[in-house]
Amino acid sequence: MEHDLESEQMILDAVDKFLVKIKPSVRQLEADDEYPEEIVEQMKEMGLFGAVIDQEYGGLGLSVSTYAKIVEKIACVWMSLTGVFNSHLIMAMSVQRFGTEQQKRKWLPKFATGEVRGALALTEPNCGTDLQAVKTTAVLEGDEYVINGAKTWITNSLHGSCFALLVKTDPTAKPAHKGMSLFIAPKGEGFVMGNKLKKLGYKGIDTAEFFLEDYRLPKENLISLEEGHGLQHALGALALGRINVASRGIGVASAALNDSIEYSQQRKTFGKPICQHQAIQFYLADMATRVEAARLLVQSAATAFDKGERCDMEAGMAKLYATEAAMSNSAEALRIHGAYGYSTEFNVERYYRDAPLLAIGEGTNELQRIIIAKQLVEQNPI
């Protein structure tokens, strides 16, 4: 245990040093909506693309508890960066948890180095939260599946090269999830990239759409080699994604708090620093309490995940609370900063733009409430 703590601290210290170096360039990169290629290369060298991939497959083999702390630190400096490896690691987790041994040995070492990088491709133009409504189909012809459809809002789609692709292998199945499958889908003939999507926040990272036009995959790329389990495989990996997004929420909420504490001691009104005004003190106290509560919820979810326990309720609670904390803290930071909060000279307006994505991505917060409520009833029958 002592060795694990030492290893964790070494990794967290390395992340801190990396963040000190990149921090001066963040505001300009974000303003230009420019993909941070040099920073991504540094993250590859640090092994972040293999953070939670088992060591036997070339990854760092970190616990999700440690991974969550890394995500929080990075999101506190620039939330967009965490999406570059989060979406990638959800794809990797779907293979690590549900793939065959042959699939793991073929793909995970390439995922771990970032040589092959990508994302989980679920969302479609008319399907987001309701994943059972996906329209992309895969039809078996001989030893290959022929895939047709469209995906949108896919992180890493422009600069990535491979995706965990959710499709219908049996569109007539009832219930629909029994006809869904998840594939390892590298870019190739029939994989047509669409436009990069313009966004309110979450700048720099590539979020785009793509189209599948008679795109072919060998049978060996079907995760687990069994049709009909795709939704379970996607949702099983998404628990990691929700812990990541919750950790991002803490990062944004913390950044808003830290900037507000500093500014409130510098700014004076009515002859004293605004941190001495009761109204500002109330804001700061609530902001700090949200950060600490969110951090404990994420620790609870990450601990359950590390133990291999079912944690959809815990991950849902963490994601719901931490992302709402980011929403509230970013709004209150803007109030504390007044006109300067509205200015692009300060980072506060970026937190305010980045936070809403967290309440929507990896399952909306409304969906998290439904998941939590269903689990509560299931666990407490009368």
The b-or-e profile of 79-94 (16+ CB within 10 A means b, else e) is bbbbbbbbbbbbbbbb
Mind listing the pLDDT tens digit for each residue in 342-353? Answer: 999 999 999 999
pTM of the model as a whole: 0.94
Mind listing the pLDDT tens digit for each residue in 188-219? Answer: 999 999 999 999 999 999 999 999 999 999 99
pLDDT at res. 131? 86
Neighbouring C-beta atoms of residue 191, cutoff 10 Å: 20
- Tokens at residue 153, please? 């809002």
Neighbouring C-beta atoms of residue 159, cutoff 10 Å: 15
Q: Give the residue from 21, 72, 48 showing the smallest Cα distance to 255.
A: 72
Position 126 pLDDT exceeds 90: no
Q: Estimate to the nearest angstrom the gap between the alpha carbon of 376 and the chain centroid.
A: 25
Average pLDDT over residues 96-106: 97
Question: In CATH, which superfamily holds the domain spanning 232-379?
Answer: Butyryl-CoA Dehydrogenase, subunit A, domain 3 (1.20.140.10)
Q: pLDDT band for position 3 (50/70/90)? A: very low
257, amino acid identity: L
Catalytic residue among 324, 362, 366, 378: 362
Contact at 8 Å (CB) between 93 and 120? Answer: no
- Fold that domain 118-228 belongs to in CATH: Butyryl-CoA Dehydrogenase, subunit A; domain 2 (2.40.110)
Q: pLDDT band for position 2 (50/70/90)? A: very low
The b-or-e profile of 215-248 (16+ CB within 10 A means b, else e) is bbbeeebbbbeebebbbebbbbbbbbbbbbbbbb
pLDDT at res. 173? 94
pLDDT at res. 296? 98
Question: In CATH, which superfamily holds the domain spanning 2-113?
Answer: Acyl-CoA dehydrogenase/oxidase, N-terminal domain (1.10.540.10)
- Topology match between the domains 2-113 and 118-228: no
119, amino acid identity: A
Residue 2 a catalytic site member: no
Mind listing the pLDDT tens digit for each residue in 224-263? Answer: 999 999 999 998 888 899 999 999 999 999 999 999 999 9
Which residue shows structure tokens 């960066």?
A: 81
Mind listing the pLDDT tens digit for each residue in 162-197? Answer: 999 999 999 999 999 999 999 999 999 999 999 999
Position 104 pLDDT exceeds 60: yes
Position 60 pLDDT exceeds 70: yes
Q: Give the residue from 231, 240, 291 showing the smallest Cα distance to 261.
A: 291
pLDDT at res. 208? 95
CA distances from 271 to 268, 274, 280, 335 (A): 6, 9, 15, 19
d(CA 181, CA 177): 9
Strands 272-273 and 118-121, sheet pairing: unpaired
User: What is the average pLDDT score of the chain?
Assistant: 95
Which residues are paired to 185 by β-bridges?
A: 163
Contact at 8 Å (CB) between 177 and 133? Answer: no
Position 17 pLDDT exceeds 80: yes
3-class SS at 263?
A: helix
What residue segments make up the domains of the chain, in order of their start? 2-113, 118-228, 232-379
